[in-house]
Structure 1
Amino acid sequence: MSEPSDLPTVDQWMLEVLARLPGSQVVPYAAWGSQTFQVGGKHFGRFGVHPSGARIVTVKGDPDVNAALVAQFEAVTPGYYADKRRWISIEVDDPALPRDVAIEALETAYALVRQGLPKRVQASLG
């Protein structure tokens, strides 16, 4: 599948994380100017550019964990264009943010969405 040229290119480290998550896909979403991350046809994240120019990944998460991450890291904010409790946005280029925080957030988002899929869909993912 070719990707529209005006959409941000997903970083290699994100692609490597997604490759470890069975059934995850990168799906271009031109209407949002982003790349979405999906499992079983459901979004668990998206990669795009904030109006400030910062490259962000926005992911679903547990509201309490999200609040703790927002309090701990300047690079983590309530979800841009998303439910501010259940989604967070992470500035991926902020050098003060350990990459492991973003990786764990992606993995958690995937797990949350996958567990909400019908059992037959979960089983088909491996």
Structure 2
Amino acid sequence: MSVMTPTEFLGAVPIDGYGPGFFRVGGKVHRGAILVTPDGVQPWGGLDDPVPLLALKGSVDVLFIGMGSDVAFPPRELTAALEEAGVMPEPMSSASAARSYNVTLSEGRRVACALLPL
């Protein structure tokens, strides 16, 4: 299990840690794919579930997409729809996405993180 280093998040919910099949956000363990925003965490249906990601329109500028253990690219249709909605998708491994989310969140930026399990 990996544990994230605490920092100042101005009331937002950070990703505390992750491991095989789970993420710990705000001190609570969540299994499976999740969507993390400064307001909290919710289950996410994965790459075939674009609705909650597109609902971020106007509330975030960057969406880190954790693709699991390895770096991969989401479907082109999803990337195009997010860009059209004004949400910049940044695909990377889930571990990198969790760390990038916390750093960007600590900077006070409008960010969210969609994570597939490791």
Identify the structure with the greater helix proportion: 1
TM-score normalised over the length of structure 1 = 0.32
Computing the radius of gyration from Cα coordinates, the structure with the larger value is: 1
TM-score normalised over the length of structure 2 = 0.34
Identify the structure with the greater strand proportion: 2
Q: Which has the higher contact order (CA 8 A, sep 6+)?
A: 2
